[in-house]
Amino acid sequence: MSFSFAANLLALLFSFFVIGAVLGAAFSQSARERLAKLLHLEHLLLTKSFHNPILRPGRHPWSAEAVFNPAAAVLAERTHLIYRAIGTDGVSRLGYASSPDGFVFDKRLPYPAYVARNPRHMAMHMRRYAPVSYPSGGSWGGCEDPRMVVIDGRVYVTFNMFDGWDYIRVAVLSIAKEDFLAERFSKWDGPYIISKPREVHKNWVLFPEKIGGRFAILHSIAPAVEIAFRDSIEAIGKDEPFVESWAGSRRDVPHRKGVWDTIVLGAGPPPIRTEHGWLLFYHALQDSDSGKYKLGAMLLDLVDPTKVLYRAAAPVLAPDEHYENHGKPGIVYACGAVVRDGTLFVYYGGADKVVCVATTPLNGFVDALIRGSQPELEAILPAQTAH
């Protein structure tokens, strides 16, 4: 080996080392955040935890196929999740886990926290559940996609009651906070069905506080933000009317033009109160990338939450990790969000298979959302007028 060749080889190796060090610094988390601030893109930086997935399918049959789409609340200095689990029998149930820091869930019940009563389709499917037959993450029946809030000392969980594609209604469970913390899940009240019969509805959420002394139910964000108010959840369908909402598919709404969220589907976690407005995450599709569920963010007016103040100009969470594509590919689906010590935690399902979390400083996120948003577009109503 000649001296010049060896010198050139050493120089090349040194250059690789220097370039690697520079790239490592340039693409470190802090450097990316500084670059994002310069570009006014820091609202995109929901940082996915290196702990992900934080919950995986369990070893018990009732949770062996999938655990995903968790509701979340902070009580007694712990983060509590109520998550959807699919068992080997194809039924969705609600499981429970909790964590002291929001990342590592050191408590997970070996039995369901809630089970639907005798889904009628179970008798038709006594063979082993085949996930390939249900690529949407659906199951033969049960409880799907919970959202959780705490109001006046009670924990409320909204969820989809699923009993076949011809029967999807929205229901609410409630339990006293002390019973919830003691894991006395036999004390659930309900379920109380709040959506109309013979209509398909999904993914309604409660605001985490009463508005004007009444429960506020966010039941639509497309084609417009719509909120129903009720004095009592338990009285809906009895003394108070079912919530009326547009019953068509959100995919049938005329697509928004010139934006990433051309197909707006529905709400994610319950809204979070900030000084600038209600922070609401939502799920949407993009015409050019319609196979992927992505998460958007908007701010709603505190006084009139049907009014959108700001909407993020780009997705805040997208399915680009392996655990968001191993299962049903291209899915991030958030059902829970909490704030701990100024940090926003967003809990979501990855690939309809596992539970994940992403975080960001709340104040910086909201400020960036305001600075980097685009003007709200006027809602385009479909042929069928929304109620």
Q: Give a yes or no: residue 67 inside a domain.
A: yes
What sign has the CA pseudo-torsion 256, 262, 268, 274?
A: negative
Both structure tokens of 347: 């809990």
Q: Are 187 and 176 in contact (CB under 8 A)?
A: yes
Top-confidence residue, 254 or 164: 254
Q: Name which residue leads in pLDDT, 6 or 103.
A: 103
Could you give phi then psi for residue 192, rounded to 5 degrees? -105, 120
Asked if the structure places residue 40 within a domain, the reply is: yes
User: For residue 285, is it within any domain?
Assistant: yes
Phi, psi of 85 (to 5 degrees): -125, 140
Give the Cα separation of 330 and 351 in Å (integer).
Answer: 6
Residue 225 makes CB contacts below 8 A (sequence gap 6+) with 218, 300, 305, 306, 307, 308
Tell me what pLDDT residue 89 has: 87
Residue 108 has pLDDT above 70, yes or no: yes
Q: pTM of the prediction?
A: 0.84
Give per-residue pLDDT as tens, 294-314: 999 999 999 999 999 999 999
At 47, which helix (H) or strand (E)? strand 47-48
What would the pLDDT profile of 65-87 be if each residue is shown by its tens digit? Answer: 999 999 999 999 999 999 999 99
198 lies in a domain? yes
Mean pLDDT to the nearest integer, 361-386: 65
CATH code, domain carrying 237: 2.115.10.20
pLDDT tens sequence across 12-56: 333 333 333 333 333 333 443 444 444 444 444 699 999 999 999
Average pLDDT, the chain: 83
The more confidently predicted of residues 29 and 135 is: 135
175 Cβ contact partners less than 8 Å away, ≥ 6 residues apart: 154, 155, 184, 185, 187, 188, 189
Other Cβ atoms less than 10 A from the Cβ of 331: the count is 24
Residue 73, judged by CB atoms within 10 A of its CB (0-12, 13-18, 19+), counts as buried
- Residue 372: in which H helix or E strand, if any? helix 362-372
Q: How far apart are CA 263 and CA 129, in angstroms?
A: 31
Closest listed residue to residue 312, CA positions, set 349, 268, 266, 259: 259
Distance between CA atoms of residues 145 and 71, nearest Å: 8
Residue 83 and residue 105 in contact, taking contact as beta carbons nearer than 8 Å: no
Closest CA to 43 of 363, 338, 375: 363
Asked if the structure places residue 138 within a domain, the reply is: yes
Position 382 scores a pLDDT of 38
Per the structure, the count of domains in the chain is 1
Sheet with strand 332-340: strands edge to edge: 47-48, 354-361, 343-350, 332-340
**Residue 50 included in any domain:** yes
Domain for residue 15, yes or no?
no
Query: If pLDDT is split at 50, 70 and 90, which confidence band does 129 have?
Result: low
Q: Single out the residue of 155, 167, 147, 150 nearest to residue 218, CA to CA.
A: 147
Range of the domain at 242: 34-372
Give the CA-trace dihedral at 210, 215, 221, 224, to 10 degrees. Answer: -100
Q: Say whether 32 sits in a helix, a strand or coil.
A: helix
